[in-house]
Amino acid sequence: MKAIVYTKYGPPEVVKLMEVDKPIPTDNDVLIKVHATTVNRTDCGFRSADYFITRFFSGLFRPKNKILGNEFAGEIEAIGKNVTSFNVGDKVFGYNDSKMGAHAEYMTMAENEAITTMPNNLSYQEAAPICEGAHYALCDIRAAKAKSGQSTLVNGATGAIGSAAVQLLKHFGANVTAVCDTKNIELVRSLGPDLVIDYKKDDFTKTEQKFDFIFDSVGKSSFGKCKPLLNEKGIYISTELGKNSENIFLAIITPRLGGKKVLFPIPTISKEDVIFLKQLVESGRYKPVIDRQYKLEQIVEAHTYAETGQKTGNLVINITQ
């Protein structure tokens, strides 16, 4: 089968289109013919290993799993003999950041992993980007216990994580202020926030408003700058470690002090989360934002663009079109 393989950490050019063996499903696995996948910041993180800590998961000196790709949408082509919840021909989507493998014509998933049938009336291209940004956002929103009536702010509302966070927070009933660039104001308004701040015109850290939860989904601010904006027990979460990797340290110290605090949750995803996201998509409460689409052969371009930190939502890779 065709797959995008990387054998060493480095820039976008380390990923190469190659012919490799088709994976063989075990008794508990499904074999998926992948129709669409994505290139996201998780792929870029695993590819570059710029943060040394990622090597403890992906391989100390060279990548353990040589095919990237954590999001997928496709069709089940074969099932292991113990599989009971899927049938050949089912259209499925999901997420796998432990084994990856979606940048290929075929991949396997255990039936109890983060995979379920596709939402009604969605194309493979629309279903592939449902999970990555949304599961990070969901973990952070759950950690902050953000709920109905609370005042929240999402910095970086145009990213994969931020655009999902705005929609999820609205679903949970929060009042949402979204921060984005001038050129994306209309797009961000369409996600349903109560207020939009254009960061090119206004510094959100200078606003008079107070928040229960500030979610910096692009890690461009700091707890120090956001602290004055937080209510007495307000919570700050950033997707980045911070300028001096201070967010981990602050997440250990500040919860013990009883006031405003920093959290740094470890992201997880389960089958139940994927089913939850599917239900939100089906009820029209969540729609992943798609920026550009590429062919498998253009994957280096997709990595290069994802790495700029300027994509708007998600980049879809079409494998079968």
The residue ranges that bind ligand NAP (CB under 6 A) are 40-42, 45, 51, 133, 155-156, 158-162, 179-181, 184, 199, 217-220, 239-240, 309-312
Cα separation, 44 vs 103, whole angstroms: 13
2 or 292, CB closer to ligand NAP? Answer: 292
Q: Could you give phi then psi for residue 226, rounded to 5 degrees?
A: -90, -20
10 or 309, CB closer to ligand NAP? Answer: 309
Q: How far is the CB of 76 from ligand NAP (least distance, A)?
A: 28
**Inter-residue contact 176 to 154 (CB < 8 Å):** yes
**Cα distances (Å, whole numbers) of residue 136 to 97, 165, 269, 278, 320:** 12, 9, 9, 15, 28
Q: How far is the CB of 265 from ligand NAP (least distance, A)?
A: 13
Q: How far is the CB of 67 from ligand NAP (least distance, A)?
A: 17
32 or 188, CB closer to ligand NAP? Answer: 188
201 or 256, CB closer to ligand NAP? Answer: 201
Q: How far is the CB of 163 from ligand NAP (least distance, A)?
A: 8
Q: How far is the CB of 212 from ligand NAP (least distance, A)?
A: 20
Tell me which amino acid residue 233 is.
K
23 or 288, CB closer to ligand NAP? Answer: 288
**Cα distances (Å, whole numbers) of residue 55 to 172, 179, 195, 213:** 35, 32, 39, 31
140 or 212, CB closer to ligand NAP? Answer: 140
205: number of Cβ within 10 Å: 17
6 or 106, CB closer to ligand NAP? Answer: 6
53 or 88, CB closer to ligand NAP? Answer: 53
Q: How far is the CB of 81 from ligand NAP (least distance, A)?
A: 35
131 or 230, CB closer to ligand NAP? Answer: 131
The residue count of the chain comes to 321
Q: How far is the CB of 199 from ligand NAP (least distance, A)?
A: 5
Tell me which amino acid residue 31 is.
L
CA angle 59, 63, 67 (to 5 degrees): 135
Cα separation, 72 vs 262, whole angstroms: 32
Q: How far is the CB of 122 from ligand NAP (least distance, A)?
A: 20
Q: How far is the CB of 118 from ligand NAP (least distance, A)?
A: 22
